[in-house]
Amino acid sequence: MDLGLKNRVAMVTGSSRGIGKAIATSLASEGARLVMCARGRTSLEAAAEEIREATRTDALAVVADVSRREDVTELVDKTMETYSRIDVLVNNTGGPPPKLFLETSQKDWQEAVELLLMSVINLTQQVTPYMKTQGWGRIINMTSFAAKQPAERLVLSNSIRAGILGLTKTMSDELAQHGILVNAVCPGWTLTDRVATLASSTAALTNRTTEDIVKEWESRIPLRRLARPTEIADVVTFLASERASYITGSVISVDGGFTRSLL
């Protein structure tokens, strides 16, 4: 199946590892030209070079902290200087640290809002004028199952990622007339460094092993295993493609059946 992504320009944030890297790799394998960003230069440049070698496509690596508006502006400017267009934006960031509500501070909330919500707002505001001019665009907001089914000790993520779903629906209404489709993807428990950290943290608090925690999570998933990052990436790549031309304003769970809600 030809997804129509050859030579499209796709920006994927938080793409030096984990789900973000898998998404960048999947898009590049379909012929998209990449813009990759992350805060760590070494890991980002290594990931970009790995993708270039594997897919023989262009990959611009820009060191940026998307919680900083000035970094977002520089990221978009470098993209336009290099490619003169932006077709696909995948808003993907790491999550805030696990905490109970009474453990959180004002600083925790402010940092989480800047990282999870304002990064999406700032990037989308700066990218959409170019997409409007083109009359074509795809925006995919990566959230989490926690946006629909709150997780223990993840009050920051539970609260703010739910707001991204509201933002996604609103943007999809406003931007559809310009040929820009906006969707959200909610991954479930996935084999990433962040999930390993969450498992270790939970294990330490409950005097259990990390393996026991992971097994408990797996027991709650109908497919009885954690996702591979590539399984999330495949869904995102489809949403970024020509083939997803009638999907907008959707919230798609990729979680092995973990989320129990009907909507």
Three-class SS state of 104: coil
In this prediction, residue 95 carries a pLDDT of 87
Question: In terms of domains, do 121 and 232 share one?
Answer: yes
What contacts 24+ positions apart, CB below 8 Å, involve 212-219?
Answer: 217/189, 218/189
Residue where the block lists tokens 């999947």: 26
pTM of the model: 0.95
Question: In terms of domains, do 208 and 234 share one?
Answer: no
Q: How far apart are CA 182 and CA 248, in angstroms?
A: 5
Q: How far apart are CA 121 and CA 115, in angstroms?
A: 10
Three-class SS state of 66: coil
Q: How far apart are CA 129 and CA 241, in angstroms?
A: 20
Q: Smallest Cα–Cα separation from 11: which of 96, 94, 82? A: 82
In this prediction, residue 91 carries a pLDDT of 98
Q: How far apart are CA 122 and CA 7, in angstroms?
A: 25
Domain-embedded: residue 247? yes
DSSP 159-203: HHHHHHHHHHHHHHHHHGGGTEEEEEEEE-SBSSHHHHHHHHHHH
What is the token pair recorded at 255? Answer: 């979680």
Each of the 263 residues of the chain gets a pLDDT tens digit; together they read: 899 999 999 999 999 999 999 999 999 999 999 999 999 999 999 999 999 999 999 999 999 999 999 999 999 999 999 999 999 999 999 889 899 999 999 999 999 999 999 999 999 999 999 999 999 999 999 999 999 999 988 999 999 999 999 999 999 999 999 999 999 999 999 988 888 888 888 888 889 998 999 999 999 999 999 999 999 999 999 999 999 999 999 999 999 999 988 87
Domain that holds residue 112: 9-189+228-254
In this prediction, residue 198 carries a pLDDT of 83
Domain-embedded: residue 182? yes
Q: How far apart are CA 4 and CA 30, in angstroms?
A: 8
Question: In terms of domains, do 95 and 221 share one?
Answer: no
Residue where the block lists tokens 């591979």: 228
Question: In terms of domains, do 178 and 244 share one?
Answer: yes
Q: What DSSP element (H or E) covers 37?
A: strand 33-38
Question: In terms of domains, do 147 and 158 share one?
Answer: yes
Question: In terms of domains, do 213 and 86 share one?
Answer: no
Handedness of CA 109, 111, 116, 119 (dihedral sign): positive
The domain tally of the chain equals 2
The length of the chain in residues reads 263
Q: Smallest Cα–Cα separation from 84: which of 16, 31, 7, 20? A: 7
In this prediction, residue 53 carries a pLDDT of 97
Question: In terms of domains, do 60 and 23 share one?
Answer: yes
Question: In terms of domains, do 14 and 47 share one?
Answer: yes
Q: How do residues 171-213 score in pLDDT, each as one tens digit?
A: 999 999 999 999 999 999 998 888 888 888 888 888 999 899 9
In this prediction, residue 203 carries a pLDDT of 87
Can you give the CATH number for the domain in which 98 is found? 3.40.50.720
